[in-house]
Amino acid sequence: MTSTAFPGGTVLGYPRIGRRRELKKAVEAFWAGDADTLDLEVAAGTLRRDTVRRLVSLGLNPDDGSVPGSFSYYDQVLDVVALLGAVPERFRDLIDPDDGSLDLAGYFTVARGRGEDAPLEMTKWFDTNYHYLVPEISETTSISFADHRIVREYAEAKEAGVTTRPVLVGPVTFLALAKAADDAGEGFTPLDRLDDVVAAYADLLRALGSVGVPWVQLDEPILVTDTLDVPVERVHEAVTTAYRALATELSPVEVSTGSTSATDSTSASPVEPVETEEDVRPRILVGTPFGDLRGGDADALALLAATDVEAVSLDLVRGAVPTGPVAGLEGKTVVAGIVDGHNIWRVDLAAKLDLAEQVAALGAGGVTVGTSTSLLHVPHDADDEQWGDDSTPGAARRKLHPQLREWLAFADQKVAEVTTLATGLRDGRDAVADALAASGAAVASRESAAGVVVPTVRDRAAGLTAADFTRGDATERAEAQAQALGLPLLPTTTIGSFPQTPEIRRARAQYAKGTLPEAEYTAAMQDEVRRVVELQEQIGLDVLVHGEPERNDMVQYFAELLDGFATTANGWVQSYGSRCVRPPILWGDVVRPAPMTVDWSTFAASLTDKPVKGMLTGPVTILAWSFVRDDQPLGDTANQVGLALRDELTDLEAAGIGVIQVDEPALRELLPLRRADQPAYLDWSVGSFRLATAGVRTETQVHTHLCYSEFGEVIGAIDGLDADVTSVEAARSRMEIVPELADAGYSRGIGPGVYDIHSPRVPSVDEATELLHLATKSIDPRLVWVNPDCGLKTRRYAETVPSLENLVGAAKAVRGLL
């Protein structure tokens, strides 16, 4: 094959949750028992058909596999678990003994757990805010081509007039992201099962080939990272083995590429097996989102070029265009991923065309235009937003400023960009002259618009010196703080939020809608703060919090109060399963028009003699959970947020708040996927936190909270943050982090969580005591704080109160022994 595949452009995937979160609603109704399997399948089928038709209406070719079939009921990694019937032993009974398949109810059970059977663990998908389920594989996990959903969904789309390209996680990425199941033998790694997984994929490809599926997309993002436990060489070997078996040993189906004719209407049934030799497969596009294939000392592009797959995508938003020809690409199509699937800015089409043209120098058989990643990571449609006056600050601000409209591209706008670029690449720039001019004008308007560059912000950032990033000596601080606070040994506290009751959520929603007047809203929230303070005093906690009832979300709350951010009404992005988030859009220089948290904290402090801890979200986390501007280095943006927070800390301090926590749960999440890039990241991220927190007095105690238990690459950063006290998740890992910190010479306060807030289970006094013993055995007990793993907002009071009582009981028990 030498002709270009997908000449009209393609996208690597599309949001599946639905423009109005239809899938979320259908799935949750099914879970609640308000809908049966058929209802759910009908709703999902409607959504899938609407999606493929929409993609065609936006310009993707309906006939040649340009339209991705990237639906999932919950998660694309779980889909492969289901495809293979590869469930952990504890869920074996959910598998149909006849064909090894998992029905929908079983599929969700593996995702969500049942009784004592824990669900699959969930973790971050590369450096996105999407979470996938971690497969558990052992020597005995059953692996076969068990689930035919992909074939059925292809047929369904075909019936609706669209020839899709089924998209699934590739075999190597699947296994490299899996973990060894508990029943696996010593030394086993999931990649040991490569041959079995590849055999099952081969069966799937034959099944797709036999019904004439022209293209399949296998995503192998594992090729852009070198930070996982699996050695890169092992991954590369596996890729060579896997694609020899899938691409070389099976022959590609004959398809007429570039056809623009309407769907072949001659076949009676769209899924009737076509007459072919036995080992026919669809052509294969290997998707490689999230980074450069060439990095570290390995060249995964050369590796893929040496296989017999027909097409490869390149992420040219994160990665660079290789400078010279790449051997092996001659017969392949390169899908140039030049439209960012991971951010929401409209592109400068002319500049992107330049980039696509550079790709031609690689010597590929053909070049077409695509997205860098699946569009899963952006909202559906910018036209779904309300555009108007956004001058009302706070939660009531729900409109996007009209000037933003022409700067933004959500998924649908990006599909249009892709098809325009593909036309420009194929037919020349004149063919898309109007679009080029319009996009150039939009980019120019963004450069010069009010608020994008605020001179006072720039001046302040330019004047920063090393002293602005440094506090005094940590030991002196600790002494001054001990004096000022007078806390007992093993002080007890919480991470900030208390359970968010339906009443609180209702009041906040009504306030945001404008149906609850501000004074009544404030009174309702103050009542809640009063209840939470009284409760904490009754329980006997040492450092209290106000409970965060006024916060819908720890990032959105601040985005609503800071200039330079916009928040959307319908900009939902799937976070995991049926959970969606609406990331704010950070579009301009960051200004804090007024204090953001001082009233709430001082109100709480006025109700008690105990210290009340102020509560802020750190700059890195605010960036990680927002769509960030792409017109300046991330570190510069982080410092702007850092400066706004710095002023907030100073105001809190001046108002008498002597303990202030700045949460950075996302510090690890933005960690680059290449080891070589990590030091520079840690430099600016840790720097922005220090900038935020270094402006307070010696006796003001700065806390931070990091919300995960595997520290690895960031253990040095914990020290670098220079917070006086750091709380971390530690209950499930049984305090593992504490000796690690001690070994690293850490000498500041540490609050390893003794109460796992991810489950409704109430830890007993004995359990918490045992964990505290473990902690105080491995680090100086004078450094240890006693707290839960994370905030309590998703818990109910019924379990929170006894758990905190037991936590305080444990602290008292261990104090008596020290």
Binding annotation for 5-methyltetrahydropteroyltri-L-glutamate: 21-24, 124, 579-580, 625, 669
Binding site for ligand GLN (CB under 6 A): 495-497, 548, 554, 615, 663, 665, 705, 707, 790-791, 793
Which of Zn ion, ligand GLN, none does 613 bind, CB closer than 5 to 8 A by kind? none
Under 8 Å between Cβ of 495 and 794 = no
Q: Which residues are annotated as a binding site for L-methionine?
A: 495-497, 548, 663
Q: Which is nearer to Zn ion, 315 or 664 (CB)?
A: 664
Which of ligand GLN, Zn ion, none does 580 bind, CB closer than 5 to 8 A by kind? none
Structure tokens belonging to residue 739? 């000796």
Considering the candidates 546, 703, 758, 773, report the single residue annotated as catalytic: 758
Q: Which is nearer to ligand GLN, 663 or 722 (CB)?
A: 663
Structure tokens belonging to residue 279? 């080992």
By beta carbon distance, the residue nearest ligand GLN is 791
Under 8 Å between Cβ of 657 and 648 = no
For residues 393-413, one letter each, b for 16 or more C-beta atoms within 10 angstroms of the residue's C-beta and e for the rest, the string is eebebbbbbebbebbbbbbbb
What CA–CA distance (Å, rounded) separates 261 from 712? 54
Minimum distance from residue 516 beta carbon to Zn ion (Å): 29
Minimum distance from residue 76 beta carbon to ligand GLN (Å): 24
Work out the number of other CB atoms within 10 angstroms of the CB of residue 96: 13
What CA–CA distance (Å, rounded) separates 365 from 180? 40
Work out the number of other CB atoms within 10 angstroms of the CB of residue 308: 17
Using the rule CB under 5 A, which residue among 55, 205, 790, 807 binds Zn ion?
A: 790
Tell me which amino acid residue 174 is: F
Which of ligand GLN, Zn ion, none does 337 bind, CB closer than 5 to 8 A by kind? none
Minimum distance from residue 664 beta carbon to ligand GLN (Å): 8
What CA–CA distance (Å, rounded) separates 734 from 753? 9
Minimum distance from residue 465 beta carbon to Zn ion (Å): 33
Q: Which span sits near Zn ion by CB under 5 A: 54-62, 619-627, 642-650, 658-666?
A: 658-666
Q: Which is nearer to ligand GLN, 145 or 711 (CB)?
A: 711
Nearest to 320 by CA among 674, 39, 688, 75: 674
Taking the alpha carbons of 288, 290, 292, 298 in that order, is the dihedral positive or negative?
negative
What CA–CA distance (Å, rounded) separates 392 from 567? 12
Which of ligand GLN, Zn ion, none does 422 bind, CB closer than 5 to 8 A by kind? none
Q: Which span sits near Zn ion by CB under 5 A: 384-392, 429-437, 701-709, 748-756?
A: 701-709
624 in contact with Zn ion (CB under 5 A): no
Structure tokens belonging to residue 360? 């031609």
Task: Point out which residues pair with 725 in neighbouring strands.
Answer: 703, 749
Which of ligand GLN, Zn ion, none does 788 bind, CB closer than 5 to 8 A by kind? none
What CA–CA distance (Å, rounded) separates 464 from 470? 11
Which of Zn ion, ligand GLN, none does 619 bind, CB closer than 5 to 8 A by kind? none
Q: Which residues are annotated as a binding site for L-homocysteine?
A: 495-497, 548, 663
Q: Which is nearer to ligand GLN, 558 or 572 (CB)?
A: 558
Q: Which is nearer to ligand GLN, 370 or 665 (CB)?
A: 665
Q: Which is nearer to ligand GLN, 451 or 797 (CB)?
A: 797
Minimum distance from residue 437 beta carbon to ligand GLN (Å): 45
Minimum distance from residue 727 beta carbon to ligand GLN (Å): 9
Work out the number of other CB atoms within 10 angstroms of the CB of residue 185: 10
Using the rule CB under 5 A, which residue among 305, 707, 779, 808 binds Zn ion?
A: 707
What CA–CA distance (Å, rounded) separates 246 from 254? 16
Which of ligand GLN, Zn ion, none does 414 bind, CB closer than 5 to 8 A by kind? none
Q: Which residue has the tokens 């999932």?
A: 72
Minimum distance from residue 666 beta carbon to ligand GLN (Å): 8
Structure tokens belonging to residue 818? 């020290």
Which of Zn ion, ligand GLN, none does 282 bind, CB closer than 5 to 8 A by kind? none
Q: Which is nearer to ligand GLN, 625 or 627 (CB)?
A: 625
Structure tokens belonging to residue 502? 């339906």
Q: How many helices (H) and strands (E) does the chain have?
A: 26, 24
Count residues near Zn ion (CB under 5 A): 3
545 in contact with Zn ion (CB under 5 A): no
Q: Any catalytic annotation for residue 401?
A: no
Minimum distance from residue 800 beta carbon to ligand GLN (Å): 12
Under 8 Å between Cβ of 660 and 617 = no
Query: What ranges make up the beta strands (E) of 19-163?
Result: 67-69, 122-124, 131-133, 136-137
What CA–CA distance (Å, rounded) separates 211 from 156? 13
Q: Which is nearer to ligand GLN, 397 or 793 (CB)?
A: 793
Q: Which span sits near Zn ion by CB under 5 A: 114-122, 266-274, 419-427, 788-796?
A: 788-796
Judge residue 548's burial from the number of C-beta atoms within 10 Å of its C-beta, 0-12 exposed, 13-18 middle, 19 or more buried.
buried
List of residues contacting Zn ion (CB under 5 A):
665, 707, 790
What amino acid positions are annotated as catalytic residues? 758
